[in-house]
Amino acid sequence: MSRRVADALSRPVRWPAFLGALVVIALLPMVLGTPYWRGILVVCAMNVLLAMSLNLVIGYTGQLSLGQSGFFAIGAYVTTVLLKSYGWNFWLAGVAAVLAAGLVGLLLAAFAARLRGHYLGIASLGFAVIVYQILINWESVTKGVRGIYGIMPPPPIRLPGLPEISFGNQATLFYLVAGIALCVYVILDNLVRSPIGETLRAIREDEISAASLGVNGARWKAFSFGVSAAIAGLAGCFYPGFVGTLVPDAFGIVESFTMLAMVIVGGMGTMIGPVIGAVVLTFLPEVLRGFGDFRLIVYGLALTLVVLFMPGGILQARQILTARLRGTEASESTGGGR
């Protein structure tokens, strides 16, 4: 596996797209200059991480997982407890939280290796419920429903010869989270275009046929679950410092379904699709906020229409529309030639 990972990471990056994304990330806090919208940008960057993590399991491995909010919670609570109770440095606590979430993901995969489809979905949903109940009832560690307060953002970074980079304001925090999300995107993009991605897609299409070719389905499922959980835990590291408080209600099972909606709406099984879905489903409720409670109806109707008429998500709809436009142009040019 290590040789395959090394081969995947050594593949060339799509530099024009990467540089374009850097420019967009740099400009967004300037375009959306109010504290409110900059806060939405931070939430959007975390949602992009969560959507990409879930897409690796659902879109590329074909495993229905509804426990992503549990891994998100593990990343948030491990980071916060190590910071508040044991005085760890934020960056070390973040690494420990990512490893903890990844390890729990491997353990879940070990139990769920024999499950498929809705059985796996129910099992993973049960995992999310268990994590939520632990957060509520293990009061000596998590403080239960009372929550943990006074959580500070990541500490400043001091580089020789450069001004101190403080994450106390939302713009720099957005740059940090969005920059990490972009790095994760590049790594996953190279991963899914490597032999590893081909193996995961083979399991998704037909696990029995893949096994006949020597693919160890249980091992690769564990790999995808572990990586996915670690990325979700990474997103959870930044949530407490952004909000300033940590309560279990932020990690209910509704959050898992929201992440699933992001992947489906954007287009699962693609890299850019979940990113689009995360952006749309983060900003759409805010854009509709002027409608009051009626926005919930509009939001739900929009999701329903996407699922009914765009089962492949926004990305597939765009590809179909582009293909039809090209076909129309080609027929018109052919007719004109006659």
What does pLDDT average to in each consecutive run of 10 residues of the chain (338 residues)? 44 71 92 92 96 94 91 97 93 96 92 77 91 95 93 88 84 95 94 92 88 86 94 96 94 90 89 92 86 73 76 74 68 56
Residue 303 lies in a domain: no
**Segments forming the whole domain that contains residue 7:** 2-252
Residue 307 lies in a domain: no
Residue 147 lies in a domain: yes
SS (H, E, C) the chain: CHHHHHHHHCCCCCHHHHHHHHHHHHHHHHHCCCHHHHHHHHHHHHHHHHHHHHHHHHHHCCCCCCCHHHHHHHHHHHHHHHHHCCCCCHHHHHHHHHHHHHHHHHHHHHHHCCCCHHHHHHHHHHHHHHHHHHHHHCHHHHCHHHCECCCCCCCCECCCCCCCECCCCHHHHHHHHHHHHHHHHHHHHHHHCCHHHHHHHHHHHCHHHHHHCCCCHHHHHHHHHHHHHHHHHHHHHHHHHHHCCECHHHHCHHHHHHHHHHHHHHCCCCCHHHHHHHHHHHHHHHHHHHHCCHHHHHHHHHHHHHHHHCCCHHHHHHHHHHHHHHHHHHHHHHHHHC
pLDDT of 246: 95
pLDDT of 104: 95
pLDDT of 16: 81
pLDDT of 1: 43
Residue 129 lies in a domain: yes
pLDDT of 335: 58
Residue 288 lies in a domain: no
Residue 156 lies in a domain: yes
* Other beta carbons less than 10 A from residue 122's beta carbon: 13
The total number of structural domains in the chain stands at 1
Residue 247 lies in a domain: yes
C-alpha–C-alpha distance, residues 14 and 58, integer Å = 24
pLDDT of 2: 43
pLDDT of 9: 42
Select from 296, 232, 298 the least CA-distant residue to 260: 232
pLDDT of 106: 93
For residue 206, give the CATH number of its domain.
1.10.3470
pLDDT of 5: 43
pLDDT of 86: 92
pLDDT of 328: 66
pLDDT of 307: 73
Residue 79 lies in a domain: yes
